[in-house]
């Protein structure tokens, strides 16, 4: 499963001592070819961690032989020294694996503004390399956890080829800015241009539409690597669907494990004039703290949905807006609709439909409720 | 004090029975002239409550004889019937006071999506009119409270003229979307164009820079009324300063009384290329839930400040950013600065300075921390 479900990949996950509690904290994923094609998408935060700045350079070449991932430290806002540390990590992996450093991507997650303990990380790379296995995907997925309560993996099977992946990130809610790290692998025989197209198409409607708490990490990274070892080149549409399925599955797992959350909220915007409008409205609803508190309290407070819609520039008329919560149209034509007492909110998943009555475009954004647990988890000193 | 500090105004505050708990819930402010000049600014939410839609029409005429304000119900998302109710309220006040309804502004605050109990509100207008007094400002300020723990008033004295006002709103944090309602009065002899200019200039740098929880109400209203009864026409700059002083004082009181908040956070952005950049960055920092949790935990987590800055389009270089928290430059040149243990965060007011090192423009945004109490207050059923 995970990153070793596809042929041509080995992986390992170990405890290198980066985390003080001794939990696994270092993962290594290696592409044994014959291809080493890759694509990546990164945080759009302009304050980027050193590993993001490095890996963007690596991905520019379209080739990735290995990925080193560590939890226990984000290596963000660490200046030239932080960048040197990332570079040294790539050099170390390259040396141990006999590859070029410029084909080694690096991902980090943890506290911002703290240098990584390189005296532990570099020997850890050697240890991990010695444990690389075709069955190492699970261990790698475990080693990248921060506050995740479960490790997250997914697989989609094609006809003779496979796409598999792992993710960490507690819905972008974790201490130290959470960070979503995702590595997806495939043995399909495709080049980096195909990978790039499929990955961007998939992330646009999956990870980009997960908005647990509105906070964007300095470290978010999604990588897609192809080994070509299945010797099958799938039809593009089929391949893109498989990549999207894995991304959607992992994104849903991230929301389901969001720190401190009690509800997973699916916000479906329909009747929008454009998809951009639908996304803008969905995101505005997803980021409304008052609504998120109400959902936490199992209160179908549609007024807060309307007020969130009202802050956007989307095309709509206020007196034509409709809102359903868990199937009950509590707001019709901008006013009171069906009886709100009919809304059953006992379950973890909550489904909000916002109908703009302005067109045919739709988009779905996932978020979480806002809870006292979220506050507690994120207000701990130096978290 | 309050709206009756300036000559030419009477006010009253009564319990009309709109609130089920019997607390004061209806205020009336009357301008006895000789002038009845007025200006107003309203929520920029596109989903506007009936009283906002009505009062915008009233203010278009530049004349306001009276303001009826009620707590206990926002009259928002209530359709044509809600608008009729607002209209009937203005008609009632006009009839009782012997004025034209089109000179009666109406403000409401409370739960969205619920019709007001007109059988209580209309008789309440008569009762309030019977109690109008030159000393009624305090009672009016009390009657507009929702979850405010204290009523909020302010006065600035000019040379022979006065500006005074009242405000409600718990930092835009209250159940039912809080709503900020502000009525400011003056006996200065100025026309509506002067009022409009002074009010917009003042709100732009005061109320518009209070961002307690990023949620925008459907009902926010700020009115400025002039009676001219001092027979003094102040120099414009002096008058504008007095209006700004009253707005700034009331805005600070709103933040200080924000529901569930434990900290008042002053975010001062300096070194910005433009004032717009400074405001965008300040607002992004103010809306970062992770940072707001950290401040609640008295954690000087500058990484979260940087990551919030990084989501903006403002001009800056990541490796030139500096951040001070309570006077300690914990982040210098985008990396670790002075020892974070030097930061003393025991007091309610927290001062964050974000230096973009990109110019000379500045702006200050006020916000609050994010607390479990905020979640509790806003997740109560039907709040």
Nearest chain B alpha carbon to A339: B113
Q: Which helix (H) or strand (E) holds A362?
A: strand A361-368
Q: pLDDT band at residue B174, thresholds of 50, 70 and 90?
A: very low
Nearest to A375 among B218, B296, B310 (CB): B296
Nearest to B216 among A297, A311, A377 (CB): A311
pLDDT value at B17 more than 90: yes
Q: pLDDT band at residue A33, thresholds of 50, 70 and 90?
A: very high
Neighbours of A22 (CB within 10 A): 8
Q: Answer whether B303 sits within 8 Å of A334, measured CB to CB.
A: no
Residues 69-88 on B with a CB inside 8 Å of A are: 74, 76-79, 82
What per-residue confidence (pLDDT) applies to B381?
44
Residue-wise pLDDT tens digits, A91-113: 999 999 999 999 999 999 988 89
pLDDT value at B160 more than 80: yes
CA dist., res. A206 & res. A200, Å (int) = 10
CA dist., res. B256 & res. B196, Å (int) = 27
Beta-strand relationship, B328-332 and B322-325: antiparallel
Residues of A in contact with B47 (CB under 8 A): 306-307, 309-310, 318, 321, 334
pLDDT value at B118 more than 50: yes
Q: CA of B114 to nearest chain A CA: how many angstroms apart? A: 8
CA dist., res. A40 & res. A57, Å (int) = 11
pLDDT value at A381 more than 60: no
User: Hey, of B378, B381, B382, B383, which one would you mutate to test binding to chain A, going by the most A CBs within 10 A of its CB?
Assistant: B378
Q: Answer whether A215 sits within 8 Å of B333, measured CB to CB.
A: no
Residues of A in contact with B316 (CB under 8 A): 46
pLDDT value at A345 more than 60: yes
Quick check: B370 contacting A, CB < 8 Å? yes
Beta-strand relationship, A152-157 and B181-186: unpaired
What per-residue confidence (pLDDT) applies to B210?
85
Q: CA of A267 to nearest chain B CA: how many angstroms apart? A: 18
**What's the whole-number mean pLDDT along residues B23-40?**
98
Do B291 and B304 touch, CB atoms closer than 8 A?
yes
Residue B215 carries which DSSP code?
Answer: P
Residues of A in contact with B262 (CB under 8 A): none
CA dist., res. A36 & res. A31, Å (int) = 6
**What's the whole-number mean pLDDT along residues B161-180?**
71
Active-site choice (B43, B147, B153, B179): B179
pLDDT value at A326 more than 90: yes
Residue B232 carries which DSSP code?
Answer: -
Radius of gyration, CA atoms only, chain A = 21
Quick check: A56 contacting B, CB < 8 Å? no
HEC string of B308-338? HHCCCCCCCCHHHCEEEECCEEEEECCEECC
Q: Is A86 annotated as a binding residue?
A: no
CA dist., res. A165 & res. A67, Å (int) = 13
Quick check: A113 contacting B, CB < 8 Å? yes
Give percent of chain B above pLDDT 70: 97
What per-residue confidence (pLDDT) applies to B129?
98
Give percent of chain A above pLDDT 70: 97
Interface size, chain A vs chain B, as Cβ–Cβ contacts under 8 Å: 216
Q: Is A259 annotated as a binding residue?
A: yes
Q: Is A192 annotated as a binding residue?
A: no
pLDDT value at B172 more than 60: no
User: Hey, of B74, B113, B146, which one would you mutate to test binding to chain A, going by the most A CBs within 10 A of its CB?
Assistant: B113
Q: Answer whether A113 sits within 8 Å of B303, measured CB to CB.
A: yes
What per-residue confidence (pLDDT) applies to A265?
96
Q: CA of A198 to nearest chain B CA: how many angstroms apart? A: 25
Nearest to A294 among B218, B311, B379 (CB): B379
Q: Is A127 annotated as a binding residue?
A: no
pLDDT value at B147 more than 90: no
Q: Answer whether A307 sits within 8 Å of B113, measured CB to CB.
A: no
Mean pLDDT of all residues belonging to chain A: 93
Residue A109 carries which DSSP code?
Answer: B
CA dist., res. A226 & res. A40, Å (int) = 12
Q: Answer whether A82 sits within 8 Å of B304, measured CB to CB.
A: no
What per-residue confidence (pLDDT) applies to B212?
77
Task: Classify B99 as helix, strand or coil.
Answer: coil
Quick check: B174 contacting A, CB < 8 Å? no
List residues forming the annotated binding site of B.
146, 168, 179, 259, 378, 383
Q: Which domains does chain B have, with CATH numbers?
A: 2-256 (3.60.70.12), 264-378 (3.10.20.340)
Nearest to A379 among B214, B216, B297 (CB): B297
Exposed/middle/buried for residue A313 (C-beta within 10 Å: 0-12, 13-18, 19+): exposed
Task: Classify B380 as helix, strand or coil.
Answer: coil
Q: Answer whether B306 sits within 8 Å of A112, measured CB to CB.
A: yes
Mean pLDDT of all residues belonging to chain B: 93
pLDDT value at B214 more than 80: no
Neighbours of B236 (CB within 10 A): 12
What per-residue confidence (pLDDT) applies to A379?
82
Residues of B in contact with A381 (CB under 8 A): 297-299
**What's the whole-number mean pLDDT along residues A289-314?**
93
pLDDT value at A272 more than 90: yes
Task: Classify A300 as helix, strand or coil.
Answer: coil
Backbone region of residue A222 per phi and psi (left: phi > 0; alpha: psi in -120 to 50; beta: other values): beta
Quick check: A296 contacting B, CB < 8 Å? yes
Residues of B in contact with A310 (CB under 8 A): 45-48, 216, 218
Q: CA of A162 to nearest chain B CA: how many angstroms apart? A: 35
Nearest chain B alpha carbon to A260: B372
Residues sharing a CB contact under 8 Å with residue A343, sequence separation 6 or more, in sequence order: A300, A325, A326, A328, A330
Q: Answer whether B318 sits within 8 Å of A46, measured CB to CB.
A: yes
Q: Which residues of B150-173 are buried (b: 16+ CB within 10 A; e: fewer)?
A: ebbbbbbebeebbbbbbbbbbbbb
Task: Classify B192 as helix, strand or coil.
Answer: helix
Q: Answer whether B290 sits within 8 Å of A177, measured CB to CB.
A: yes
Greatest Cα pair distance, chain B, in angstroms, is: 67
Q: pLDDT band at residue B250, thresholds of 50, 70 and 90?
A: very high
- Residues of A with catalytic function: 179
Q: pLDDT band at residue A278, thresholds of 50, 70 and 90?
A: very high
CA dist., res. B216 & res. B211, Å (int) = 9
Angle at Cα B56 formed by Cα B54 and Cα B61, nearest 5°? 105
pLDDT value at A173 more than 90: no
CA dist., res. A331 & res. B183, Å (int) = 32
What per-residue confidence (pLDDT) applies to A178?
56
List residues forming the annotated binding site of B for substrate.
146, 168, 179, 259, 378, 383
What per-residue confidence (pLDDT) applies to B179?
72
Residue-wise pLDDT tens digits, A122-165: 999 999 999 999 999 999 999 999 888 899 999 999 999 999 99
CA dist., res. B179 & res. B70, Å (int) = 12
Q: CA of B93 to nearest chain A CA: how many angstroms apart? A: 26
Do B168 and B208 touch, CB atoms closer than 8 A?
no
What per-residue confidence (pLDDT) applies to A170?
63
Q: Answer whether A375 sits within 8 Å of B378, measured CB to CB.
A: no
Neighbours of A336 (CB within 10 A): 21
**The most confident of A108-117, B84-93, B362-371, by mean pLDDT:** B84-93
Nearest chain B alpha carbon to A382: B299
Residues of A in contact with B335 (CB under 8 A): 77-79, 82, 113
């Amino acid at each position: 499963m995970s990153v070793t479900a596809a042929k041509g990949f080995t992986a390992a996950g170990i405890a290198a001592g980066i985390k003080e509690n001794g939990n696994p904290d270092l993962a290594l994923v290696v592409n044994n070819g014959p291809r080493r094609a890759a694509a990546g998408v990164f945080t759009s935060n302009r304050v980027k961690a050193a590993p993001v700045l490095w890996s963007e350079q690596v991905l520019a070449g379209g080739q990735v032989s290995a990925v080193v991932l560590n939890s226990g430290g984000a290596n963000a806002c660490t200046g030239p020294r932080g960048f040197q540390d990332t570079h040294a990590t790539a050099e170390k992996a390259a040396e141990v694996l006999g590859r070029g450093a410029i084909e080694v991507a690096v991902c980090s997650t943890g506290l911002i503004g703290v240098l990584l303990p390189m005296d532990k990380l570099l020997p850890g790379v050697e240890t991990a390399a010695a444990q690389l296995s075709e069955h190492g995907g699970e261990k790698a997925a475990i080693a990248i956890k921060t506050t995740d309560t479960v490790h997250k993996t997914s697989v989609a099977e094609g006809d003779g080829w496979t796409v598999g992946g792992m993710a960490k990130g507690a819905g972008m809610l974790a201490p130290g800015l959470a960070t979503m790290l995702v590595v997806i692998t495939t043995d399909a025989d495709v080049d980096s241009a195909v990978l790039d197209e499929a990955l961007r198409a998939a992330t646009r409607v999956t990870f980009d539409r997960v908005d647990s708490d509105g906070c964007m990490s300095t470290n978010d990274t999604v990588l897609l690597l192809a080994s070509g070892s299945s010797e099958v080149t799938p039809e593009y549409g089929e391949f893109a669907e498989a990549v999207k399925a894995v991304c959607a599955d992992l994104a849903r797992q991230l929301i389901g494990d969001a720190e401190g959350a009690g509800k997973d909220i699916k916000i479906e915007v329909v009747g929008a004039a454009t998809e951009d409008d639908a996304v803008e409205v969905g995101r505005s609803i997803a980021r409304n703290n008052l609504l998120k508190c109400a959902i936490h309290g199992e209160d179908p407070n549609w007024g807060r949905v309307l007020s969130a819609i009202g802050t956007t520039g989307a095309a709509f008329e206020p007196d034509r807006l409709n809102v359903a919560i868990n199937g009950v149209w509590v707001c019709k034509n901008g006013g009171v609709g069906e009886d709100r007492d009919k809304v059953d909110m006992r379950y973890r998943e909550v489904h909000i439909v916002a109908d703009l009555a302005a067109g045919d475009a739709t988009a779905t954004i996932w978020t979480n409720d806002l809870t006292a647990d979220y506050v507690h988890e994120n207000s701990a000193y130096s978290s």
